[in-house]
């Protein structure tokens, strides 16, 4: 079964390199060129990397959802490889989001965690998809593994808006806080540059990780080689 | 079809009702332990009573849910069931309803424990009952689906809660909030919006999990 | 240019950027390493057949 896409072997690396370039430029702008914000001061600069990660993290998990649905429909294992890659990268970004959000919260609110609905939803997502990765680790049969993790991904993804709204209601009684919505164009440039940077980097990651998954699936899904008469005789 | 599946499940549960008793003791013990975490301050305990109740029920559910497929895994009955010309969805809903009943009974059993340990009495008993019914439904639908999956896997004891807990966060939030308002008072009449959220969660997951169940148990 | 109500805070900024960069770099390295290993194994399998 031909799963590996060898048409453009350099593609993932090209994407990653482009991503790094954008990130370096965007971070430079965000750290050294953009002015300190009116209320947030220097801490505002964390947003230039936090918000791009948030957009792309959701994008990765959405792609995982799409891959799950497509796999359940057509059974093509290429989509299982993409599912595995998208979940892993999504988990990576969710983890980063929680760390960045926590680092942002400490100087801002004085606590390491402020139960902001978006960040709390991200933490729930982090655990949900970590669970799906764990599920994949514990299931040896590649067909069952693919079907079950697709089902689990669909169930988890549908939950995202529900979790978000329930946490927002739950939290609304306590504090009225919002992450700063930067409006001035001088704040847009680093945000956009980094957004593209993370997008390209993430796409490169998913491509490469999907290839790793494809190679392993190829190994798992092929029939064991038929023994020649000689080899069979040796075993007898 | 559903009737037969449901009847079989209820019969199974009746035969193993001793286990339910044991799980109830587990739940009640958990409620006791939670109070040790807070201390003998009745005010504090009362404030958190709803949370403890639902945490206790959630933990207990991992025991009952994983057990619910125990019979199917023995003697490979799961495959036998698949050979029958029956709609797998009927099997799913039969089991999910039976699990729902079990969790509701557990919940109802734990409420008096909560009332006693945490001084969490309420005149709004019907509302608490409603929340227990709806909350158990929220646990049961995805729980039965994941129990079916993890029953076939090693490390099933760990995987079931690992998969289930993040998922049911909205149901947990809503159940705790609604129960808490019934106990502590609801001056602004918020509890109906929480009940609404819980109902929406139940509706979505009872349909979605039923839809996906066939894929989970196919060979 | 105002300093903002929150004074200073550069250490938080460096921490956030630093951890993000570190995680990306480490992940990239593990991916590339793992890909090479898998590709090598796949080639060996193909040659054996």
Q: Are A6 and A220 in contact (CB under 8 A)?
A: no
Lowest mean per-residue pLDDT among A46-60, A185-199, A215-229, B139-153? A215-229
ipTM over 0.85 threshold: yes
pLDDT at A8: 73
CA distance B188 to B84: 53
The single-letter DSSP state of residue B1 is: -
CB contacts of B205 in chain A (<8 Å) are: 155
The answer to whether the predicted template modeling score (pTM) of the entire model surpasses 0.80 is yes
pLDDT at C1: 41
User: Whose CA is closest to A92, among A204, A216, A15, A180?
Assistant: A204
User: Whose CA is closest to C45, among A218, A229, A212?
Assistant: A218
Q: Measured between CB atoms, does A175 come within 8 Å of chain C?
A: no
CB contacts of C44 in chain A (<8 Å) are: none
pLDDT at A234: 53
Q: Are B182 and B122 in contact (CB under 8 A)?
A: yes
Q: Are B99 and B68 in contact (CB under 8 A)?
A: yes
Q: What angle do CA B192, B197, B199 make, to 5 degrees?
A: 90
pLDDT at B141: 96
Interface test with B, best of A65, A90, A138, A150 (most B CBs within 10 A): A138
User: Whose CA is closest to A133, among A202, A199, A47, A64?
Assistant: A64
pLDDT in tens, A13-36: 999 999 999 999 988 888 888 777
Q: What is the mean pLDDT of residues B59-72?
A: 87
pLDDT at A2: 45
Asked if chain C contacts chain A via 3 or more Cβ pairs within 8 Å, the reply is: yes
Q: Over 60: is that where the pLDDT of C2 sits?
A: no
CB contact under 8 A, B165 and A127: yes
User: Whose CA is closest to A127, among A97, A107, A106?
Assistant: A97
Direct distance between the N- and C-terminal alpha carbons of chain A, in angstroms, rounded to an integer: 31
Lowest mean per-residue pLDDT among A172-176, B96-100, B135-139? A172-176
CB contact under 8 A, B170 and A158: no
CB contact under 8 A, C17 and A108: no
pLDDT at B172: 96
CA distance A84 to A93: 14
CA distance A187 to A41: 13
Q: Among residues 90-129 of chain A, which lie with CB inside 8 Å of chain C?
A: 92, 95-96, 99-100, 103-104, 106-108
Q: Are B66 and B19 in contact (CB under 8 A)?
A: no
Mean pLDDT of chain A: 86
Between these two residues, A179 and A165, which has the higher pLDDT value?
Answer: A165
A121 — pLDDT class (breaks 50, 70, 90): very high
The half-sphere exposure of B152 on its side-chain side, counting CA atoms within 13 A, is 19
């Amino acid at each position: 079964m031909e799963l590996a896409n060898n048409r453009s072997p350099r593609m993932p690396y090209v994407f990653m390199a482009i991503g790094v370039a954008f990130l370096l430029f965007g971070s430079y702008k965000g750290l050294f060129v953009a002015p300190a914000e009116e209320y947030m001061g220097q801490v505002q600069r964390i947003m230039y990397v936090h918000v791009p990660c948030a957009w792309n993290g959701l994008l990765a998990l959405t792609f995982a959802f799409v891959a799950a649905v497509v796999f359940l429909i057509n059974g093509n294992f290429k989509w299982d490889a993409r599912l595995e890659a998208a979940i892993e990268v999504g988990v990576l970004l969710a983890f980063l989001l929680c760390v960045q959000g926590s680092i942002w919260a400490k100087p801002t609110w004085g606590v390491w965690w402020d139960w902001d609905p978006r960040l709390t939803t991200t933490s729930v997502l982090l655990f949900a998809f970590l669970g799906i990765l764990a599920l994949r680790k514990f299931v040896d049969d590649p067909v069952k593994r693919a079907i079950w993790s697709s089902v689990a991904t669909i169930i988890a993804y549908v939950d995202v808006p529900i979790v978000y709204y329930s946490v927002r209601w739950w939290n609304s009684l306590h504090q009225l806080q919002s992450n700063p919505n930067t409006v001035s164009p001088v704040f847009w440039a680093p945000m956009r540059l980094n957004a593209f940077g993370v997008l390209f980097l993430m796409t490169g990651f998913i491509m490469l990780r999907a290839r790793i998954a494809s190679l392993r699936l190829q190994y798992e899904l092929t029939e064991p080689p038929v023994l020649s008469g000689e080899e069979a005789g040796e075993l007898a | 079809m559903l009737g037969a599946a449901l009847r079989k499940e209820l019969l199974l549960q009746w035969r193993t009702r001793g286990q339910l008793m044991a799980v109830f003791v587990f739940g009640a013990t958990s409620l006791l332990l939670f109070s040790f975490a807070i201390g003998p301050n009745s005010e504090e305990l009362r404030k958190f009573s709803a949370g403890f109740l639902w945490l206790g029920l959630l933990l207990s559910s991992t025991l009952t849910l994983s057990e619910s497929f125990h019979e199917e895994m023995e003697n490979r009955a799961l495959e036998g069931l698949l050979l029958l010309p029956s709609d797998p969805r009927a099997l799913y809903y039969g089991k999910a309803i039976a699990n729902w009943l079990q969790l509701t009974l557990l919940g109802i059993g734990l409420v008096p424990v909560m009332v006693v340990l945490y001084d969490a009495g309420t005149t709004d008993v019907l509302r608490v009952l409603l929340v227990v019914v709806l909350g158990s439904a929220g646990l049961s639908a995805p729980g039965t689906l994941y129990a079916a999956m993890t029953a076939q896997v090693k490390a099933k004891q760990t995987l079931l809660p690992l998969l289930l807990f993040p998922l049911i966060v909205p149901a947990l939030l809503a159940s705790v909030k609604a129960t808490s308002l019934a106990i502590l008072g609801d001056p602004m009449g918020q509890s109906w919006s929480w009940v609404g959220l819980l109902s929406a969660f139940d509706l979505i997951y009872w349909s979605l999990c039923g839809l996906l169940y066939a894929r989970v148990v196919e060979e | 240019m105002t300093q903002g109500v929150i004074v200073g805070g550069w250490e938080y900024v460096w921490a956030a950027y630093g951890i993000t960069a570190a995680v990306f770099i480490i992940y990239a390295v593990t991916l590339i390493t793992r890909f090479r290993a898998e590709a090598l194994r796949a080639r060996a399998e193909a040659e054996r057949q």
